Amino acid sequence: MPKKAAKEDEHAWVFDSLVDFLRGPLWNIPIMNFIEERSMLFEPDGANSKAYKKVHDDYKNLVDLMLGSYMEDIGITPEQFEKACSNAAAEMKSKFHQLQFEQLWAADDFDMFQRMMIRTNIELQLQALELLQHRHGVIPASFLPGDVSEQERRILEEVTRRSLEDQGGSVDGDTRALEEAIVSTEQTKQQLRAGRDREQEIINSTMKLSISDPPQAAPQTAADKISPEELKRRQEYLRQQRDKLLLMKRAEREKMLAAEGESKQARPKSSRAARSAMAGKVDPKTVEMRRSLAKVLRQEVVDKK
């Protein structure tokens, strides 16, 4: 085989391995866990730049740690990694899901990260609202975007099943009345959907990509007359349900990660890094791979579009 062809095969193998890693649980579980749990700080009207940037620094460290562990497991250098990504730039659009673009891009772009976190916070409240609707016999259309990973879909399905099993617990009359008011009113869901779609549009504009169809805005209907006090009460309760949802999702992710026996043997450093991240231990580990990947995303995928 000619040397050039051999080099191309080597680079293709590295890129294909990266795609598999980014789609697998060793990447997705700690990354999604971080994004969801830390997104609670990011409100649409928030302006705590200092706190937000601290979270962004932690996220960059996590991404660096995971990519660095992956590189060590498969035995490649940063130079090989950068070359493989550069050579495969044209394939990124077809092989990466939008969510993977966002996760990688956000590590190198604070504004993108902030929008992603705000959108995630809103999505979690929508998920919590849907769980309440299920518990009260209202089965809404799925709110999940089409690009959601199969792992996340399984996690949410299991969380929904557990939530329905637990609904027999004692709930006082005031709480039940509050839940029924929330699930029977479209205004809250419309506001959440509008907020989520607005953030998604900003993200799409930032990336200048049309990997998937833009989100459709929720249909507008006449707003229910809800007092500001009652609206605030409902929003606070929904956030409490969001926090409970996060605990259940974390438990499901931990079980899924524990079941990754084969991956642990194949990629021991990635597995240890994933377990460390799930335990809240994100070690600062600066590597050039994230920056190389971000550079390719910008120059090859976006600028040449």
Structurally, what CATH architecture does the domain formed by 3-302 represent?
Up-down Bundle (1.20)
How does the average pLDDT of the chain come out, rounded?
77
Listed residue (56, 188, 204, 54) closest to 122, CA to CA? 188
Look at residue 214 and tell me whether its pLDDT is greater than 60: no
* DSSP designation for 166: G
Q: Please state the pTM of the whole predicted model.
A: 0.79
Region 239-259: mean pLDDT is 86
CB 119 within 8 A of CB 143: no
CA dist 108 and 119 (Å) reads: 18
116-137 tens-digit pLDDT: 999 999 999 988 888 888 877 7
HEC string of 6-67 equals HHHHHHHHHHHHHHHHHHCHHHHHHHHHHHHHHHHHCCCCCCCHHHHHHHHHHHHHHHHHHH
In tens, the pLDDT along 39-84 reads: 988 988 766 778 899 999 999 988 988 888 888 888 888 778 778 8
**Domain boundary assignment for the chain:** 3-302
pLDDT, average across residues 179-203: 86
